[in-house]
Structure 1
């Protein structure tokens, strides 16, 4: 029957890749930042591209702001089918995804677009092992970011001692502990509240998101340095993907690649970069850069994090040294390896 329909379609000059008998899918796409965040448009654009590639047989609706579930649960939501495609911060669950944690290491990634492409190209073979219970789509990063604090300026590593910091990810959490600080865990939408109430003294955040979430209203000191990035992934429910036809799977796969990772990372990077000037324009804010000597002290202090990452990766059976060499080579290829 399918061959007959295909022959009729070709004879009639029909060029759309979809055939009438392909099942239609309405994907629930979930994330946990506000609809005003650039990620909303990135996911809408991703869904539109998939719809076009599938000849209209795959449509997607984006659910922002934790409508379908908490930020920390988004990986499991995709695994369990609560949502079909989700936006995940692997660092929200320390120890669960040790390999991709390499992207969180300080002073490693210098650029959002190239960093997203370099990280994604490197991680693809490891995703099959580390995220095997979902359909891995792509990985990306935001622009390099750093500390924002309320009452105490953080200039050198020793300044973190005694402070309560909301870390961006598991690696930064380890760093805060290493430096004698205390971690305060919360999702991004909760950061303003915990700083305003004094539960935390500061946060590691990109500048644009700081303004978006209103955290600039409760912080004063802002380090302007390419200190760290946070890694993110889009993942898909594996059962939903496996129900699709070969043509439909190709429509997904063509939008789950390294080029697509760059398309997601680049506009977000520009959004975050623009936040620095917005903060500078506000009264009572101090935005400061690090001297070469101060930067060197941070790099020296962060060296144990590389060993911690390597030890975690070795437990998975992966050669950590080889993996790090591969990651640096991939970042260099996409002009995003920090100097």
Structure 2
């Protein structure tokens, strides 16, 4: 029977399974969502209220990273001992560096969410006991302005890049030790984060979303997808040209069993080519139909659906395809990288 089909747990070569792939996806999405929110905020300058895209990114960033860390802790052989990683650091270890980055990033992303949703949290039922004592600290950080946002963006980029370096902890496996893997995960994570911001923004925060910001993030994603495709091409071309075991592994990963199908159909087809086609044919240069007659500006000007408007469903499908492709990329790299050695 082809060992590439069915449950992977029965094979000793698999050390890290799907929870690790989901964690890598959520960490990349979280970092990408925070970067997307900051890009929109910087583009708009100082505004009295935050755009829905900023709110979406601020909400996604801490929630995604916390869910991802929870999955990673559960997947540990001794999950109740995870706190020891926060006390014993080895700076030669990728995992120890990652723990430090995750602690800093989790705090900063939560702080950013508190700043963006400050008014809502101040009016919440738990405000007296939970938020108001922290309000002076939140406002102090808010007043630090751009420098704090630049620190957050750099830490977010570090988190996305770190997810690529983390896989090298499994040892000298050709597909997991490619120098371009951190860059690939950074681009893919940013693309997934942008897609998640758009999807959440036009559904949960559509009243405060400005159409120009949706188009701005769409243009960012439309640029990221071809770059991701190019990096994948360069990565596998490099492996094939290296010869020896590297070429053998690359050929197997691209042509053998279910994982080759996941790569070509899922990662390349569904996650990259199809969203590029949708972006260039259905989304490019059209208005965004959040909903008929919905207010899209702070001044309350309303936008009415026209024949050239993009249905919100098309927008959501495009964002979903991008996120599916990003998740399948992590799943593919994690499993194929351990199987083909």
TM-score normalized with structure 1 length:
0.27
Greater helix proportion: 2
TM-score normalized with structure 2 length:
0.27
